Copies of this chain bind each other. A is one copy, B any other.
Amino acid sequence: MTDPTTMSCPVPAVETERVLLGHGSGGRLMAELLGDVIAAELGGDVTSEDAATVDTGTAEVVISTDSFVVTPRVFPGGDIGALAVHGTINDVAMRGARPVALSLAYIVEEGLPLDELRAVTASAARAADAAGVRIVTGDTKVVQRGAADGLYVTTTGLGVRPPDAQPSAAGGRPGDAVLLSGPIALHGTAILSARESLGFEAEIASDSRPLHALVAAMIEAAGREVHTLRDPTRGGLASTLNELAEASSVGVEIDEDSVPVPPPVAAACELLGLDPLHVANEGCLVAFVAPTSAGAVLDAMRARAEGAQARRIGEVTAGHPGRVLMRTLLGATRVVDMLVGEQLPRIC
């Protein structure tokens, strides 16, 4: 009989490391890809924030870029054009900046109906107009059939930051209040429902919307006391809180019963086996705010439609830096981890 401890497979061929769908999830695999591959090759200049500041000598300019590959391209509550505008406006706003201009780059598959390109462009224009931001330049590339899935949109946003706004992923401090501007998991469940025709479409719509006016109101209320702002998109609230905890070298503790999950969203997540904390959002933000200003910031948020349901969901702690804990409804405490692989590909 063969001794099982000496059994061996044939020497494996050297496995080429390849990109996995999970590398695009916004979770842990993605963090590894960005750290080990992209940032490692680019060197030290690339920001871990959603947007970078560029000192042009006389003004502090914020720039952010995002590609949108969402499928389907039209979904309850939005479409790829409006989403591309809102997403980039929000990334610029999360650095405390006032978005002033956007660029719009298309990669189009040969055969796309021109009417669809028209509709997407009109939707992007309406979204920019409603947000008071100008689309100033763009690019269009066409690839042959089969080389893209219809249409991909890359938007880049430019903003100007007032001196009293300095929110940063690394700005959280122990004692800060953790604020959330609205209900979570709407965007991800709306996309999944539309994609798979699950029948939730009547009840659940994406929360896709611009948040820069909400941010401006928060900054006006508390200036630099607004330490950290982030919109929890890919990877959901859980991944975002983990990223912020790590960047700020602090712990985060949240209360399960304070995190608003609309009942239809909770039902859909239950059915699909999804944790709402890991589902993408496109219209809410999480903030770390100095405790003395938390009340004033909450009031300013609630005075606006997109912040009407704003609430405090927890606090920043000195203990367990880099980790996020949640006090559950049953009184236990559990670790809230980053999303690891891919839960919902092509969610934005």
Contacts and interface: CB of A to CB of B under 8 A. Distances in A.
Interface stretch (A102-110, A200-208, A313-321): A102-110
A66 interface: yes
Given A47-B137, A137-B64, A17 B114 contact: yes
Interface stretch (A117-125, A177-185, A223-231): A117-125
A3 B93 CA distance: 69
Interface string A14-53: 0011111111100000100110011011110111011110
Contacts of A105: 65-67, 154, 156
A279 to B, nearest CB: 17
A135 interface: yes
Given A47-B136, A137-B65, A52 B107 contact: no
A56 interface: yes
A138 to B, nearest CB: 6
Interface residues of A, number: 83
A137 B63 contact: yes
Contact of A135 (B42, B58, B107, B135): B42
A134 interface: yes
Contacts of A57: 59, 160
A154 B110 contact: no
Contacts of A40: 118
Given A110-B20, A346-B143, A65 B101 contact: no
A105 B59 CA distance: 25
Contact of A38 (B43, B101, B138, B149): B138
Interface string A94-116: 00000011011111111111110
A18 B104 contact: no
Given A24-B143, A38-B106, A56-B158, 5 more contacts: A52-B136, A54-B101, A65-B103, A139-B154, A152-B152
10 contacts: A18-B111, A19-B108, A19-B117, A20-B110, A46-B138, A51-B137, A54-B136, A56-B59, A68-B141, A141-B346
